[in-house]
């Protein structure tokens, strides 16, 4: 499943393509949404907002399209009238005079009045978005030590969207490696220095992944770029201590870590 940085990059791409331009065609695959197609023609997209792994498309007429890619959904930017190749099912088409944004294969899609979108069940239960610039390490530390999370193992907490929205499996592994923590650790058992390192890693790892757009090589002119330190590197030496990176399964998901330095 795409994680927060990938969803935000997709939002950036489609926002650049169609935001602010009058919609010349709107099409929905689901019958319950089709009555709104004519209402949206002639409006424009104000902005695309990400909430963790959900995308909110805000229209100028006061409506908002909620979509969640889940496992197989993907947005594509194409030419007007162009049909997507492959076997993916078209779910949404938002077309302007020169570009079209297509949502393929997603099934969790609904339309809301913008002032009511916060009542969406998913949005009501998730935590703050990891890419929200207003989210600070102090706020992350507070959430870690809140009654809901202080006694829980980090392996599960970092996948729980009610903790911080947008985190996922590869980010979980990289965050714990950066903070030198093991997956079974609980926030209440950490000292303040460890909690500070964890809070900093939660934000810095996710934001670096977004900012570098998935590039994985070091570049002396542009500084450090995001690349996996442990995720997908089972059997290879740890870049920090030289120990061997191991792979296991946690919360039904593959997990990579270095037992030698993540004690």
Q: Write down the pLDDT at residue 72.
A: 82
pLDDT(9) > 60: yes
Q: Write down the pLDDT at residue 225.
A: 57
Q: How far is the C-alpha of 227 from the C-alpha of 254, rounded, in Å?
A: 18
The per-residue pLDDT of the chain, averaged, comes to 93
What global pTM score does this model have? Answer: 0.88
Q: Write down the pLDDT at residue 73.
A: 86
19-39 confidence digits (pLDDT tens): 999 999 999 999 999 999 999
Q: Write down the pLDDT at residue 14.
A: 97
What φ, ψ does residue 22 adopt, rounded to 5°? -60, 135
137-257 domain in CATH 1.10.8.50? yes
The yes-or-no answer on residue 3 being catalytic is yes
Active-site residue, from 9, 13, 152, 253: 253
What φ, ψ does residue 232 adopt, rounded to 5°? 75, 10
pLDDT(142) > 90: yes
Active-site residue, from 8, 51, 53, 233: 53
Residue 196 neighbours by CB under 8 Å, 6+ apart: 137, 141
Q: Please report which confidence band the pLDDT of residue 110 belongs to, taking 50, 70 and 90 as the band edges.
A: very high
Q: How far is the C-alpha of 27 from the C-alpha of 89, rounded, in Å?
A: 13
Residue 31 neighbours by CB under 8 Å, 6+ apart: none
Q: How large is the average pLDDT for residues 121-146?
A: 97
pLDDT(135) > 80: yes
Q: Write down the pLDDT at residue 2.
A: 73
190-241 confidence digits (pLDDT tens): 999 999 999 999 999 999 999 986 544 544 434 455 689 999 999 999 999 9
The yes-or-no answer on residue 53 being catalytic is yes
pLDDT(143) > 60: yes
pLDDT(59) > 50: yes
Q: What's the topology of domain 4-125? A: N-terminal domain of MutM-like DNA repair proteins (3.20.190)
Active-site residue, from 2, 84, 137, 254: 2
Domain boundaries defined on the chain: 4-125, 137-257
């Amino acid at each position: 499943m795409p994680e927060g940085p990938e969803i935000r990059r997709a939002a950036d791409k489609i926002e650049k393509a169609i935001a602010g331009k009058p919609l010349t065609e709107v099409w929905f695959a689901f019958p319950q949404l089709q009555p709104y197609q004519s209402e949206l023609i002639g409006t424009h997209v104000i902005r695309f907002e990400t909430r963790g792994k959900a995308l909110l498309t805000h229209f100028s007429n006061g409506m908002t399209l909620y979509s969640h890619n889940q496992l197989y959904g993907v947005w594509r930017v194409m030419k007007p009238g162009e049909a997507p190749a492959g076997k993916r099912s078209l779910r949404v088409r938002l077309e302007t005079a020169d570009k079209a944004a297509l949502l393929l294969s997603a099934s969790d899609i609904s339309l809301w009045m913008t002032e009511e979108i916060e009542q969406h069940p998913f949005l009501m239960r998730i935590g703050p978005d990891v890419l929200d610039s207003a989210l600070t390490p102090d706020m992350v530390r507070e959430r870690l030590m809140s009654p809901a999370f202080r006694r829980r193992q980090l392996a599960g907490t970092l996948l729980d969207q009610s903790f911080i929205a947008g985190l996922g499996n590869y980010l979980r592994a990289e965050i714990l490696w950066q903070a030198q923590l093991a997956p079974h650790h609980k926030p209440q058992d950490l000292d303040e220095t460890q909690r500070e390192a964890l809070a900093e890693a939660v934000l810095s790892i996710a934001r670096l992944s977004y900012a570098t757009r998935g590039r994985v090589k070091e570049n002396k002119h542009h500084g450090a770029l995001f690349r996996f330190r442990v995720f997908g590197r089972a059997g290879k030496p740890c870049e920090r201590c030289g120990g061997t990176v191991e792979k296991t399964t946690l919360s039904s998901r593959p997990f990579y870590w270095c037992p030698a330095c993540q004690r």
